Amino acid sequence: MLTIDRVSTGRALVSDELFAQLTARIARDHPELAADLPARIMDQALAFLGACATATEPLGPSDLVDIGWHTFILHTREYADFCQRIAGRFIHHQPDPPPDETGPTPPEPLGAPISRAVDAIRAAGFAIDQELWARAAADCQSKCHQCHAGCHNSPTR
């Protein structure tokens, strides 16, 4: 397992070649994104996973950061190797069940609080790309659904 000693970017956790492959895939799969976003998304997804490596509570990414996590998972061999190297285990992606639209509203929002992920990433020594996480906070103010991520890691497995 990797001990993170003030790594400033998630990007530093993978080779330049793999980072380029992942960002190219994001750009190809999401042509609606501004040209600078694929690399920023992937950097934050890697920082998020670095924080998940030592998390004791579920962490959930913002919608944009989740794009990077999904992209990395598609590269199964590299993702599994990465997880083993940084966490000593596989970091599972656990989607939350959709809310039951016919039943009562649950008292607690589904998912892990975005603020918990941001705090964990900072505590792990990674820089935060505020815009990628702030969009979630802005959505929280207007729609109140992204205060909590729609998926999370499973730190106990």
pLDDT in tens, 105-139: 544 445 678 999 999 999 999 999 999 998 655 44
Does the residue 6 lie in any domain?
no
Does the residue 129 lie in any domain?
yes
Does the residue 5 lie in any domain?
no
From first CA to last CA, the distance across the chain in angstroms is: 15
Does the residue 92 lie in any domain?
yes
Does the residue 103 lie in any domain?
no
- Residue 113, phi then psi, degrees to nearest 5: -60, 135
Q: How many CB atoms lie within 10 A of CB 92?
A: 15
Do the Cβ atoms of 66 and 49 come closer than 8 Å?
no
Q: Please give the residue range of the domain that contains residue 40.
A: 11-98+108-153
Total tally of structural domains belonging to the chain: 1
Does the residue 50 lie in any domain?
yes
Does the residue 3 lie in any domain?
no
Each residue's pLDDT expressed in tens, for the chain with a length of 157 residues: 555 555 589 999 999 999 999 999 999 999 999 999 999 999 999 999 999 999 999 999 999 999 999 999 999 999 999 999 999 999 999 887 776 655 555 444 456 789 999 999 999 999 999 999 986 554 444 443 444 455 656 565 5
